[in-house]
Amino acid sequence: SNIQWKGSADGDVIVKAQDGSIYEADSVIVTVSLGVLKENYRTMFTPALPTVNQDAINGLYFGTVNKIFVLFDAPIPEDFPNTVHLLWYKSDLTALRQSPYAWAEAVSTFFRIDNQPNVLMAWMNGAEGRRAEYLRDAPIREGILYLLKIFGKNLKFGNIQGLLRSKWSSDRLYRGSYSSRSITTENMNTGARSLGTPVRNAANEPVLLFAGEATNPVHYSTVHGAIDMILQPRAVVAAVSMDQSVASVLIVGAGGAGIAAATRLLDRGFRNLTILEAENRIGGRIHSERRGQNVLDYGAQWVHGKDNNFIYDMASQYGLIEIEQHKENELYYKSNGEPVPKEVSDKVIDTLYALLDDIGSLKAFSGSLGAYYDQIFFDAVRAGKFAGIDQRTCYQLYQFFIKYHNTYNATDTLHEVSGAGLLEFEDNQDEFLINWKNRGFHTLLDLLMRKLPEQKNIAPPIPVEEYTKFNHVVSSIRWNVESPHPNRVLVTCTNGATFTATHLILTVSLGVLQDMHTAWFDPPLPAPKRNAIDGLYIGTIDKMFLEFEEPFWPQDNSWHGFGLLWEPNDLEQLRHDGRQWLESVCAFFVPDRTEKLLVAWIYGRDARAMEALPEQTVIDGLMYLLHKFLPHFPVPVSPRWFSRSRWYSNPHFRGSYSSRSMKSDAMRATAAELAEPLYLGSVGSQDRVPVVQFAGEASHPQFYSTVQGAVASGWREADRLIDLYRTTSDHKMAPLLGKL
């Protein structure tokens, strides 16, 4: 009847039962249902519960489902299926509601019961189901027979001999079946973790703890969710040393996120740190290689805008970057060699971007990004926005616009891209690109590791390579290892090497997670984590590099590449010749500060196909395009050197970067869920410790697909550990770097 959690003089909790008995304890674990808490929490606890617990009790949803077991004097007819879901015609439903059996609308399904040939079970839910709990058995029997006459037409059922049914809502010891999440839950910004927050006394000791399915943030509504909240290994977690000099950190992946996390932690005194890198280099999808006077970026190449971009701030501080003086796409050629007048292409492309600036219409649109773009374009055509422009040319420029955005988003087709998901992305890309002055994007990694000559007077370099083990490919991850030592994670590599750690920060790409999470994790990842991994989208774009003896294009700074516009008959011939992969070559561009280099973009399914082709086939295809689109240029027979990226076929990446798809929306897969760590320790307790953490561009809600998002996610996970050990370490923390 009452729990006085500031009870006796010696600090014990006093529990009073309705029969008058009294119990005292150091701590009390409350496992009653959420329904009982909702009905009684105002009188059940003295003093009143903290607001965080009260809000969770009020905000979480608790509903009712009931079962009715019906025993017949004869077996259920053979033609009656094992499961029957009830779908109503409007006329039948109206008749039901006007009958004495209106309660039966609560029945959603009939089930046969294994090894009980004479028993049929009915599921009931909702308000009508709760009201039915107060009916006698007779109207329940009659209602069941009424339903069987409708949904079991021409089948002969026996007579009802007996009835058993649950009454979870009307039973004051339960007041419902199990919990769920409602709009109220979201509006109150509460949840299972809040409900499970321990109530502490003046000495900060947990005296009132909550368990039960409703306190489990992942497996609420289930029996294993209820059991899990009791069996959390508190003692094991408490044994973890809160000393950062003892805690070991293992980082998988030395890309942007991994380097950001490692440099942050090393700079804060975490020396027991190891990085496992599958490649023979650092950088991940930042891959810069020098060739002669040029630095080639196989992956990330440009800084993604100036606004709200700490990478721009860091690099511009040392004069490492520059804004290009031309737009990314300025010239367009048709497959018959005809150049498109610049005033025509500018009008079409600028009009499209102007129309797409209306974010409000995208917010109101429920379909794919491709469907939205089609609607905007064809509405503009009908409205005369492109008046005076040849219709075929206008449509060809729109097709290029679509291909460019497929390349920009690394998608196969914009019709699988979520329009609503795109609104999550904070796109600060400028009209003019920002490059690294032919130093390569790898310069950012040097900046993070303080290796640049410009940083020599600031602080010593951070020797990340000394902590990195290259060519170490993960084969398994055990993340709940029982051990008297603080190391809770065991990682095994394909070369037989094993590593243990207190904390694991996993920074591999979403593509690798999608390929490997089932094989890697023991125990398997929780369902929300699997849903995020499987539901988020990662696509492919690639670059193909052609180096010539001499540039064959104008050298007066008027020519920086071109976009490809296909004539319908040429496109049909391309497909007939078996070169259809060339259709997804979007554009060629000349990287700034280079002279003899021409780079081609390719995206999607055809990019993956290109990666599997022999090198000479790819060269021949690209030269075919150059000769076809630039017949008035002195294009040589072949380049003197060729190279290409293969982001999809490389098992250590399995794609270029992430996006949001219609599937992501349907599965409610989010970056936030991907970023959520795997913990040991009770929900809401101070002993709760992150064991496996996730970083990488795909885990950033606003800057996914960018290096900015990758670095910020690495800092986020490093800061999570820094904050964890801050209160127990004598190490003086340096100020945190970066805006995010």
Mean pLDDT of the chain: 91
Cα(299)–Cα(542) distance, integer angstroms? 8
Q: Is the peptide bond before 484 cis (omega within 30 degrees of 0)?
A: no
Which whole number is the average pLDDT over 268-297?
A: 94
Residue 9 pLDDT grade (very low, low, confident, very high; cuts 50, 70, 90): low
Cα(193)–Cα(643) distance, integer angstroms? 51
CB 53 within 8 A of CB 199: yes
> How many C-beta neighbours within 10 Å does residue 162 have?
13
- Name the more confident of 358 and 669: 669
Residue 243 pLDDT grade (very low, low, confident, very high; cuts 50, 70, 90): low
Q: Does 356 score more than 60 pLDDT?
A: yes
The mean-pLDDT minimum among 210-214, 236-240, 401-405, 501-505 falls in: 236-240
Percent of all residues in the chain with a pLDDT value above 90, rounded to a whole number: 77
Which whole number is the average pLDDT over 31-50?
A: 95
Which whole number is the average pLDDT over 684-700?
A: 88
The length of the chain in residues reads 740
pLDDT at 237: 32
pLDDT at 703: 93
Q: What's the half-sphere exposure (Cβ side, CA atoms, 13 Å) at 379? A: 11
Which whole number is the average pLDDT over 274-288?
A: 96
> How many C-beta neighbours within 10 Å does residue 639 have?
19
Residue 86 pLDDT grade (very low, low, confident, very high; cuts 50, 70, 90): very high
One DSSP character per residue, 442-458 reads HHHHHHHTT-SGGGTTT
Cα(146)–Cα(92) distance, integer angstroms? 11
Q: Does 613 score more than 50 pLDDT?
A: yes
Residue 488 pLDDT grade (very low, low, confident, very high; cuts 50, 70, 90): confident
pLDDT at 233: 32
Cα(718)–Cα(735) distance, integer angstroms? 13
Does residue 337 come out as left (phi exceeding 0), alpha (psi in the -120 to 50 range) or beta?
left
Cα(492)–Cα(473) distance, integer angstroms? 9
Cα(395)–Cα(399) distance, integer angstroms? 6
> How many C-beta neighbours within 10 Å does residue 635 have?
18
278-310 residues labelled b (16+ CB within 10 A) or e (exposed): bbeebbbbbbbeeeeebbbbbbbbbbbbeeebe
pLDDT at 203: 63
Which whole number is the average pLDDT over 215-235?
A: 77
Residue type, 113: I
Residues contacting residue 548 through CB under 8 Å, at least 6 positions apart: 596, 598, 636, 639, 640
Q: Which has the closest alpha carbon to 444: 269, 304, 538?
A: 304
Q: Does 42 score more than 80 pLDDT?
A: yes
Which whole number is the average pLDDT over 445-468?
A: 92
Q: Which has the closest alpha carbon to 543: 603, 612, 621?
A: 603
Domains of the chain listed by start with CATH number: 2-56+193-238 (3.50.50.60), 65-165 (3.90.660.10), 246-283+442-538+660-725 (3.50.50.60), 325-431+541-646 (3.90.660.10)
pLDDT in tens, 176-208: 999 999 999 888 888 898 898 888 876 667 889
The mean-pLDDT minimum among 200-209, 379-388, 486-495 falls in: 200-209
Secondary structure (3-state) at 193: helix
Tokens 């959690």 sit on residue = 5
pLDDT in tens, 120-170: 999 999 888 899 999 999 999 999 999 999 999 889 999 999 999 999 999
> Would you state the structure tokens that stand for residue 280, as one six-digit string?
């023979």
pLDDT at 684: 67
Q: How far apart are the first and last CA of the chain?
A: 48
The β-bridge relationship of strands 597-603 and 641-644 is unpaired
Q: Which has the closest alpha carbon to 275: 530, 116, 508?
A: 508
What is the biggest distance separating any 2 CA atoms in the chain, rounded to whole angstroms? 100
Residue 54 pLDDT grade (very low, low, confident, very high; cuts 50, 70, 90): very high
Secondary structure (3-state) at 216: coil
- 8-state DSSP, 9: T
pLDDT at 737: 38
CB 211 within 8 A of CB 31: yes
Tokens 């059996």 sit on residue = 101
Helices (H), 8-125: 34-44, 51-59, 90-97
Q: Which has the closest alpha carbon to 541: 707, 411, 403?
A: 411
The segment with the largest mean pLDDT, out of 355-369, 409-423, 541-555, is: 541-555
- Name the more confident of 629 and 356: 629
Q: Does 239 score more than 80 pLDDT?
A: no
Full 3-state SS string of 121-168: EEEEEHHHHHHHCCCCHHHHHHHHHHHHHHHCCCCCCCCEEEEEECCC
Q: Does 670 score more than 60 pLDDT?
A: yes
pLDDT at 733: 38
Cα(207)–Cα(201) distance, integer angstroms? 6
Q: Does 738 score more than 50 pLDDT?
A: no
pLDDT at 234: 41
Residue 235 pLDDT grade (very low, low, confident, very high; cuts 50, 70, 90): very low
The mean-pLDDT minimum among 81-90, 296-305, 360-369, 681-690 falls in: 681-690
Tokens 């990662």 sit on residue = 538
Residue 230 pLDDT grade (very low, low, confident, very high; cuts 50, 70, 90): low
